Amino acid sequence: MKLYLLMGTALAGLLVACAPPTNQDELAANPSASEAEATLNRMDEGTAHHQIYQPGEIDWQDGPDFIEPGADMALLAGDPEAGAFTARLRLPPGYDIHSHYHTGAKYLTVVSGAMHIGFGDALDKTQGVVVPAGSFVKVPAGHNHYEWFEEETVLQVHVTDPFEVIYVDSALDPRNQ
């Protein structure tokens, strides 16, 4: 019994000592805090409460200017201008995103539908992989890739760094049309 009590006390002390920092001051004072924790704290700045979005409560807006019109976007957390954010994209059937790369990594979860993704300098629908609902994709910074959608698809996009979209062929960039 004493051994269990001693082990339990030691474990509790270890957990308290290893607990992650919980605010910006602690993060600044603790250089061993993980980069992910710092990113999450940046995303939560200015949010003094929890956030829960039920499916019918998501505020869909027109998609960003770096993709063709027809897609919708809902910002869930963070600030795209600051670099750390989570958003959802809703893409219609027949939607294409030409070959491009990002200045930061992009993390995607397919919420519904299916995404087709390929890697290279030009959209080629004979290449690529079908990524069904429930799948996760990480696209590192600087990797040329393209996507297309044969059915309505909802993606959740998470970005942790300043993020810019650069098209391989600038003539296909919707901002230039």
Give the chain's radius of gyration (CA, Å): 21
Q: Is 126 left (phi over 0), alpha (psi -120 to 50) or beta?
A: alpha
Distance CA 166, CA 102 (A): 6
Residue 6, SS3? Answer: helix
Backbone angles phi, psi at 148, to 5 degrees: -145, 160
Cα 28 → chain centroid: 25
pLDDT in tens, the chain (177 residues): 444 444 444 444 433 444 444 444 444 444 444 554 554 454 455 556 788 888 889 999 999 999 999 999 999 999 888 888 999 999 999 999 999 999 999 999 999 999 999 999 999 999 999 999 999 999 999 999 999 999 999 999 999 988 899 999 999 999 998
* pTM of the predicted model as reported, rounded to 2 decimal places: 0.73
> Which CATH architecture is the domain 59-176 placed in?
Sandwich (2.60)
Distance CA 21, CA 126 (A): 48
